[in-house]
Copies of this chain bind each other. A is one copy, B any other.
Amino acid sequence: MDCIFCKIISKKIPSDIVYEDDNTIAFLDISPVNKGHTLIVPKKHSENLIASEEKDIHESLNVIKKITPAIIKTVKADGWNLGVNNGPAAGQIVKHTHFHIIPRFSNDGLKHWHKKSYAEAESKQIAEAIRKEI
């Protein structure tokens, strides 16, 4: 399978690994938003978060809780974002589920997306439509 993260997991491609166990690997993003930007990756290949098995992403969350304080301490960050991009329209480039840990600094100038408003009653209609689909 021609998956770059599977090749990193099998060590066919080198990476700056910060943590590894039987189920999960974590390595530095080669193109970081900020220094210490780390990817947490379930070793078992699946395309995105919906396709991943619950136990694999639970393991990833446990690793995130375990290693993020060390990342934050090392780069002296003030906060951090967790992000997962699902689908090309959401910025997903590698089709192997992965979590981004992005260290943040009070003065890093990164802007969050602009928030909009709902028209009168629109949010109630959308919530009801979602509930019917669940």
Interface residues of A (CB under 8 A from B): 16-19, 27-36, 38, 49-50, 52, 54, 57-58, 61-62, 64-71, 73-75, 77-92, 102, 104-106, 108, 110, 112-118, 122-124, 126-127, 129-131, 133-134
Ranked nearest first, the 3 interchain pairs of A and B with the lowest CB-CB distance are: A79-B87, A79-B90, A70-B133
Sample of 29 A–B contacts (CB below 8 Å) = A17-B127, A18-B127, A18-B131, A27-B127, A28-B126, A28-B127, A29-B115, A35-B122, A35-B126, A36-B130, A38-B130, A49-B64, A50-B65, A50-B69, A61-B61, A67-B134, A69-B133, A70-B130, A70-B133, A74-B133, A75-B126, A79-B90, A80-B90, A81-B84, A81-B85, A82-B83, A83-B83, A83-B84, A90-B104
> Could you tell me the distance in whole angstroms from the C-beta of A50 to the nearest C-beta in chain B?
6
Q: Chain B residues with Cβ under 8 A from A105's Cβ?
A: 89
Evaluate contact between A91 and B81: CB separation under 8 angstroms.
yes
Name the residue of chain B whose CB is nearest to the CB of A54.
Answer: B62
Q: Chain B residues with Cβ under 8 A from A116's Cβ?
A: 31-34
Evaluate contact between B89 and A79: CB separation under 8 angstroms.
yes
**Given contact pairs A49-B82, A117-B31, A134 touches B89 in the complex (Cβ within 8 A):** no
